[in-house]
Amino acid sequence: MPARQQLDSTTKHVALTSHPPSKQRTSVTKWQDSLRHLHALRTSTSPQPPEERSKSPLPHCQAYTQDSGITLQRGGVSQAMEVGVHHDRALEISLANPLSKRVETISFDNANGRVLANPLTSQVDDPRFDNSAMDGFAVRASDCEKKPSTLTIVGTSRAGGSRPPAIGPGQACRIMTGAPIPAGADAIVVVEDTKSDQDLVTILGPARTGYIRRRSENLSKGQEALPSGVTLTSAALALAGTMGYGEVEVISKPTIAIVSTGDELMPPGTKLAPGQIYESNSHALASLVESMGCHAVRHESSNDSIQDLRATLDNLSIYDAILTSGGVSMGQWDLVRRIMEEEGELSFWRMRIRPGGPPLFGTWKEKPLFGLPGNPVSSLVVFHMLVAPWIAKSLGYHEDMGPRISQKVSVKLEQNITGAPGKLCLRRIRIRSENGLLLASTHTHQGSGNIHSMVAHNGLTLLPPDTDGKAGEVVDALWLV
């Protein structure tokens, strides 16, 4: 049995910013021509991949030589796959198969980090009654105009204590922060501005009406204060408590399975044979999945074998969604793409972004499946650009206050940055704040295999296709949190 590892659900917080799905379809349905072309390529002298070919009319290796969007149909049935889609379109396509949103009611004690399924309206007025903002004396302001003036103390009002006595002309009541205002009082004198001796208090400073916190000045009973999709972190949690919720309805955490693919991959900490490398993507992806408010289940890596992959994907289809890493490019052993073409439902392959061009999306046994690239930077970038917003939109996360792992910002470039022909260019940048501006610079080489670049930087440019960024220019970027 393959080992599975259930991660602890430490929840951090996230969401991607506005990239509204475009209605524009980039694909062209010249599929008969494409199939003829692809068939010619398949029957050419390409070396055989490790296992027998299936009957798919789609190519297994070199067929896709163009990035332009095309829609292909396979086996004569109307199963369309778009190739080389823009980022907005990729999100739109994947949202046709969203995560299913389930709701559960949990004790408020366990609500930290969970995401509200429905808006919360206050069950009480806040404050519930007029009370003092300061320790001091509740007085009638008109009694304190002359300085000093001396008043008779008629009692004490304390938080949680019994109802304080009313005060009349020439009288004062000792009062503590949060304690109810006695009837007859309309102002507070802070204790520092008084001198008291037994039953008398001498008023030396101002009597302030502003130190009375009025009933419902923060919230009225029935008022909506927390929208759905909000993460219950410190302040939101305190607000839910203030509003009286002993239980809250939250979005059930979906479970997302993660599997890396590749014969070369070995768990960190083991001894490597020649040609092997340490597997790291599944750990990074699991961390991001958890940060997006979901459970992550890491599966042990799958070999580059159709049988192994099929068995693994079948095993993982009990979960709500599957993320694979590796095996989606043009290589002979890129079998995730092949098995999805032949046995799964493939909606798109390749996205017009750099890095992170080769991802795919489809379903395996009706479960949404993202095939992420194996290059460590690409796999994380595609998660940020595609998987995170897909999770957020599927589950109805609040755009600003829901779980998020990035924030769209404008940055001033400190150096020239080369864009990418025909692709949204996501160069890694380090964003820092200086004199009220966010400045962006690059520090390591930008190879998609260089995971160090994702640690040395904290953001990605969002340079539109065919656009270079010039030093001094302000451009859109994604600040990774």
Binding site for ligand AMP (CB under 6 A): 260, 262, 264-265, 277, 279-282, 325-327, 329, 331, 334, 373-376, 449
Sign of CA dihedral 189, 195, 196, 200: negative
- Residue nearer to ligand AMP on the CB measure, 143 or 334: 334
Residues 480, 333: Cα–Cα separation, whole Å: 32
Question: C-beta of 415: minimal distance to ligand AMP in Å?
Answer: 28
Q: Which does 281 bind (CB under 5 to 8 A by kind): Mg ion, ligand AMP, none?
A: ligand AMP
- Residue nearer to Mg ion on the CB measure, 327 or 362: 327
- Residue nearer to ligand AMP on the CB measure, 193 or 279: 279
Q: Which does 265 bind (CB under 5 to 8 A by kind): ligand AMP, Mg ion, none?
A: ligand AMP
Question: C-beta of 284: minimal distance to ligand AMP in Å?
Answer: 8
Residues 222, 245: Cα–Cα separation, whole Å: 13
Question: C-beta of 78: minimal distance to Mg ion in Å?
Answer: 31
DSSP H or E stretch at residue 265: strand 265-266
Q: Which does 376 bind (CB under 5 to 8 A by kind): ligand AMP, Mg ion, none?
A: ligand AMP
Question: C-beta of 375: minimal distance to ligand AMP in Å?
Answer: 4
Task: Return the structure tokens found at 448.
Answer: 């998609």
| 179 contacts 191 by C-beta, under 8 angstroms | no
Q: Which does 342 bind (CB under 5 to 8 A by kind): ligand AMP, Mg ion, none?
A: none
Contacts of 458 (CB under 8 A, 6+ apart): 429, 430, 431, 479, 480
Q: Which does 277 bind (CB under 5 to 8 A by kind): ligand AMP, Mg ion, none?
A: ligand AMP
- Residue nearer to Mg ion on the CB measure, 57 or 344: 344
| 213 contacts 127 by C-beta, under 8 angstroms | yes
Question: C-beta of 267: minimal distance to Mg ion in Å?
Answer: 16
- Residue nearer to ligand AMP on the CB measure, 127 or 374: 374
| 319 contacts 298 by C-beta, under 8 angstroms | no
In the complex, the residues that contact Mg ion under the rule CB under 5 A are 262, 326-327, 374
Residues 154, 164: Cα–Cα separation, whole Å: 9
- Residue nearer to ligand AMP on the CB measure, 88 or 263: 263
Question: C-beta of 374: minimal distance to Mg ion in Å?
Answer: 5
| 184 contacts 203 by C-beta, under 8 angstroms | no
How many other C-beta atoms can be found within 10 angstroms of the C-beta atom of residue 307? 11
- Residue nearer to ligand AMP on the CB measure, 374 or 469: 374
| 157 contacts 176 by C-beta, under 8 angstroms | yes
Sign of CA dihedral 387, 367, 289, 404: positive
Question: C-beta of 364: minimal distance to ligand AMP in Å?
Answer: 18
Question: Which residue number has the CB closest to ligand AMP?
Answer: 374
Question: C-beta of 451: minimal distance to ligand AMP in Å?
Answer: 8
- Residue nearer to ligand AMP on the CB measure, 348 or 479: 348
Closest C-alpha to 26, from 63, 80, 64: 80
What are the C-alpha distances in Å from 297 to residues 57, 70, 148, 266, 291? 34, 34, 71, 18, 13
Question: C-beta of 43: minimal distance to ligand AMP in Å?
Answer: 25
Q: Which does 280 bind (CB under 5 to 8 A by kind): ligand AMP, Mg ion, none?
A: ligand AMP
Closest C-alpha to 327, from 281, 388, 261, 246: 261
- Residue nearer to ligand AMP on the CB measure, 132 or 325: 325
Angle in degrees, CA 403, 406, 412, rounded to 5: 155
φ/ψ (deg, to 5) at 163 = -55, 130
Please report which residue ranges of 84-129 form alpha helices under DSSP H. Answer: 87-94
